[in-house]
Amino acid sequence: MRVFCCFMDTNARLPSREEKRDCGVRNVHTYIQMQTERQRFRMSFQWGDLVSAHGYDTSHVTFKSRNKTTQRDAMEPQEQQVAHKSKYTRNSPFQSTVLVNRLLTGAASEKETRHIELSLDTPEMTYTPGDAVGILPTNRPEAVAEVLQALGFTGEERVKDHYGVEISLHEAVESRLAVGKLARGSVNSYAKLTDNATLKELTAPENRARIEEYLWGREFIDLLVEHPGVIAEPQQLFTVLQRLTPRMYSIASSQAMHPDAVHTTVRVVRYDAHGRHRQGVCSGHMGERAPEGGKLPIFLHSNNNFRLPVDPTAPIIMIGPGTGVAPFRAFLQHRMALAESGDTWLFFGEQREATDFLYKEEFQKMAADGVLTRLDVAFSRDQAEKLYVQHRMHQQAKGLYRWLENGAYFYVCGDASRMAKDVETALLETIASESGKGAEHAAEYLAQMKKQKRYQRDVY
């Protein structure tokens, strides 16, 4: 057992004797020590501080603190003096070992979803359920080779990266520049380097819809092949291409149960477009170039807007289709490890039960053991009419409303474009119908839940 030399937080909730007996002294003690160490290293700063200090690109996530009083504001001056920032960041990541990389979906599935476990053998790397792990990917070797060949460069040329550090062009294309999904800004910058009439017309302000259509499914290599001879000097790539940024993944484990590791759930994106095979930059890295025993640069991100209730007896309702189930696996592990007694209700959805029921055995065991009070599933392709989690919510409307009236916290994780909106609509309709007070009351009810932090979303 790791022992940390630290001060105990006197406001921390200590486990009862029964909890120690039920969940094991080692895990409880380790968890309290970790959380105290976490306070020392991380309590003094917010995500905004990290953005300004290290230049994170968070356009693909929705994390944003709405608290007017920050943790730093709430600390006494002497506490602020002893608090520390974690030394592991995007610019100085922790070199984690891949402990487990296994396929969750069946061989006949239309999707490839993987369970990843990464080592955290340092006291500074601590997290809470609801947090995210940032992974720094590299571009796949085939893509790097294609770009260099199309540019007519060897890769040995010297360039300066975003911080003025001299590196090889090969390293820049591999780990500094986004040569995957083509961005509108990159096409605009590329067009400024040439008198090519087609590119000038494509990037004209009045052709916004046309360029969006052009961008779909294309990567930088397509632009180079279709409009060659524009890049004259290797350094120009830094004015054309966006920076290769970390990808954030919801954490799928509780450190109270897994002290030296962080788990996540990754769907590997693969598709064909414009005559080429494509894949997600980071998910492809996880699927093809992250073998067990290999190394991955990572950092942890605290998300204070997606948290379990402070009251361990409070009921929780979790809506997590697909990989959106990841943080709820963490929630359930946490409640199990600390023997918290609050009721739990999980709604999970995917395409087919036989091939796509992620963590099926774990959730079924949790249900059998009483850790998971209710489990409702929706498999959209297992019947003629498609069935989604929002349909299951309608079917269980009476029970849902009863849980809400009993103070349940409601969580949603996953797709923001459709699923999250459909789930919120189903929730409002449930409140309106079961309360018998209509849509206006439902809107007010949900607004009050948000104010009480009983309605939390982690959507992307």
* Separation CA 339–CA 310 (nearest Å): 14
Domain with CATH 3.40.50.80 in the chain: 316-459
Q: What is the pLDDT of residue 40?
A: 42
Spans of the chain below 50 pLDDT: 1-30, 32, 36-84
Query: Please, where in the chain does CATH 2.40.30.10 lie?
Result: 17-74+86-137+246-301
CA angle 53, 61, 45 (to 5 degrees): 35
Q: Would you say 103 and 266 are in contact if contact means Cβ atoms under 8 Å apart? A: no
Answer whether 380's CB lies under 8 Å from 386's CB. Answer: yes
Fold of 316-459: Rossmann fold (3.40.50)
Enclosing H/E stretch for 287: helix 281-288
Rounded to whole angstroms, the Cα distance separating 154 from 156 reads 5
Beta bridge partners of 102: 115
Length of the chain: 460
Residues of the chain with CATH 1.20.990.10: 141-240
Give the pLDDT of residue 341.
Answer: 94
Amino acid of residue 430: T
pLDDT in tens, 418-434: 999 999 999 999 999 99
Please give the Cα distance from 2 to 159 (Å, whole number).
44
φ, ψ at 376 (rounded to 5°): -120, 130
* Residue labelled with tokens 């923001």: 416
pLDDT on residue 30? 47
Q: What confidence score (pLDDT) does residue 187 get?
A: 97
Cross-strand pairs, 84: none
Query: Looking at the domain covering 17-74+86-137+246-301, what would its CATH class be?
Result: mainly beta
Structure tokens, 263: 């788990």
The CATH class, in words, for 141-240 is mainly alpha
Instruction: Write down the pLDDT at residue 70.
Output: 33
Phi–psi pair at 297, nearest 5 degrees? -80, 125
What integer pLDDT is reported at residue 87 of this predicted model?
83
| pLDDT attached to residue 35 | 54
Select from 360, 337, 280, 413 the least CA-distant residue to 115: 360
